[in-house]
Chain A
Amino acid sequence: MDQTGPYEGMLAETIALPGFQGDLITAYFARPLGPGPFPGVVVIHHMPGWDEWYREATRKFAHHGYAALSPNLYFRAGDGAPEDVAAKVRAAGGVSDEQVVGDLAGALHYLHALPFSSGKAGVFGTCSGGRHAFLAACRVRGFDAAVDCWGGRVVMAPNDLTPKQPVAPIDYIQDLPCPLLGIFGEEDQNPSPAQVAQLEQALKAHGKTYDFHMYPKAGHGFFSYDRPNYRQEQAVDGWKKLFAFFETYLRTPASSVPAAG
C-alpha cells in the first residue's frame, strides 16, 4: 500500500542492452534507489510502439519496488515518433517471434546481472506484448511469473501462421515454467473470449498455475487512459490483481509460494 512517510527515490533512464544475436538495442530502465534486493520486471510494449505509456508503466513498477526494464522491440526500424516507427514495423509485417524472444532474453539477463537483483523476475505485456510475454515465459528460461494482458494471436489457426510467427504460442504451453496471470475484456475480438477459453483449457490440461480474469464491459486495451476503450473500474482492479500476483510470485519467499504446475 502507498505510504506518505518514508523517503522514496527512483532512477529512470534509457540504457542499451544486447538483444537478439547480440544486437545492442535500447531499453527504458527504472528502479527504486537503494541497495535492494529488487525483483525485476520486463515490460513489453504494444503493437503501436514503444511509447510514453510504457515508460509510465515502467516507472510504475519501479514505484512498487521492482527493477523494471522495457526493451524497444522496434529499435531496428530506426528512431522517430513512436507511431511512425511502429507504422514502419507494421508495414513489414511486424517483428519476428525469434527476434523478440532474443531481445526479451537479453532483457532478462540484464536484470539478473544487476547487483541489486533479488534473483527473481517477471514479464508483463499488453496487446502484442501480452502475446510476447506468454511466448517469452515459455521460451526463455528464468522467468518466475508472467502477465498476459489481452494478448491476441496466442491461439492461432494454421492459416494465421506466417514466416515471422511460424508457431502459435499456445503450442509451447508445455514449456511454461511459471504462473501466468491473464487479464482480458469480454468485448475484445482479439483475443476473443472463445480463444481465451481455449488457452485456459490448455493451461488446465497441462496442469499449469494460472489466474485468468475476464472483465465485463471491457474490450481490448482497457488500461489505456488516453483511448476511448479505457475502462476505469476494470483497469484499477486489473492493476491491483497484477501487483498482487507479482507480490506473490516475485517477492514472497519460495517456501511460502504455491508450487507452479
Chain B
Amino acid sequence: MCTMIVTQVNIDGSGKGANGWFKLREANVSYDHPFDAPLEHALNIDFVNEALGPGERVAVELSVEAARTLVETIDAVLKRAEAGGYLEQSAPAVPDTAT
C-alpha cells in the first residue's frame, strides 16, 4: 500500500457484485491508488463480505470533491427521511443465513 490510509467499518445491507446480490458485512474506506479512476489517489470504498472471498466486492473510486459531495448528500437524505418519520432504526427482522 502506498498511503496506508484505510478504515474498515461493519455494515448491514446488500450489494450487487459481479455474481449478483450478496449480503454486505464490511465497508473498507481508503485513500490510496485507485484501480480504474484516472487519479493518482482516490477515495475508495469497497463494499464487501469478507467471508465470501475477494470477488464479492462492490467498488467505487471517487475524487475528493465527489466523495465530499456524496457524504453531504447521504447525510441530507437521511435528515429528510428522519424529518418525515421514515427512518427504520431496528436491525433487519429476517435472520441472516446467507453469509
Does chain A have a CB within 8 A of B23?
Answer: no
- Is there contact, CB below 8 Å, between B40 and A229? yes
- Is there contact, CB below 8 Å, between B28 and A90? yes
Q: What residue of chain B has the Cβ atom nearest to residue A227's Cβ?
A: B38
- Is there contact, CB below 8 Å, between A47 and B32? yes
Does chain B have a CB within 8 A of A165?
Answer: yes
- Is there contact, CB below 8 Å, between A88 and B2? no
Does chain A have a CB within 8 A of B95?
Answer: no
Contacts A47-B32, A94-B1, A160-B4: A87 and B57 contacting too (C-beta < 8 A)? yes
Does chain B have a CB within 8 A of A86?
Answer: yes
- Is there contact, CB below 8 Å, between B28 and A128? no
Chain B positions within 8 Å of A99 at CB level = none
Does chain B have a CB within 8 A of A78?
Answer: yes
- Is there contact, CB below 8 Å, between A91 and B28? yes
Q: What residue of chain B has the Cβ atom nearest to residue A74's Cβ?
A: B54
Question: B61 to nearest A CB, angstroms?
Answer: 10
Within the complex, which residue of B1, B38, B41, B50 is in contact with A90, where a contact is CB–CB below 8 Å? B1
Chain A interface residue count, CB cutoff 8 Å, equals 34
Does chain B have a CB within 8 A of A190?
Answer: yes
Interface residues as binary, A62-86 with B (CB distance below 8 Å gives 1, 0 otherwise): 0000000000000001111101111
Question: A223 to nearest B CB, angstroms?
Answer: 14
Q: What residue of chain B has the Cβ atom nearest to residue A188's Cβ?
A: B40
Size category of the binding interface on chain B = 20 to 34
Chain B positions within 8 Å of A87 at CB level = 28, 35, 44, 46, 48, 54, 57, 59
Report how far A4 CA is from B48 CA in the complex, Å. 50
Report how far A160 CA is from B41 CA in the complex, Å. 17
Contacts A80-B53, A153-B4, A160-B4: A219 and B40 contacting too (C-beta < 8 A)? yes
Does chain B have a CB within 8 A of A39?
Answer: no
Interface residues as binary, A217-240 with B (CB distance below 8 Å gives 1, 0 otherwise): 001110000011100000000000
Within the complex, which residue of A84, A165, A189 is in contact with B40, where a contact is CB–CB below 8 Å? A189
Tell me the A138-196 residues at the B interface (CB within 8 Å).
152-153, 160, 162, 165, 189-190
Question: B46 to nearest A CB, angstroms?
Answer: 5
6 closest Cβ contacts across the A-B interface? A91-B28, A94-B1, A80-B54, A84-B54, A83-B35, A228-B38
Beyond A87-B28, A87-B44, A87-B48, list 18 extra A-B contacts (CB 8 Å).
Answer: A47-B2, A48-B33, A79-B54, A80-B53, A80-B54, A81-B54, A84-B55, A85-B54, A88-B54, A89-B1, A90-B1, A90-B32, A91-B8, A93-B6, A94-B4, A190-B3, A221-B33, A227-B38
Jot down 5 A-B pairs with beta carbons below 8 A, ordered by A. Answer: A79-B54, A87-B35, A91-B28, A127-B33, A229-B40
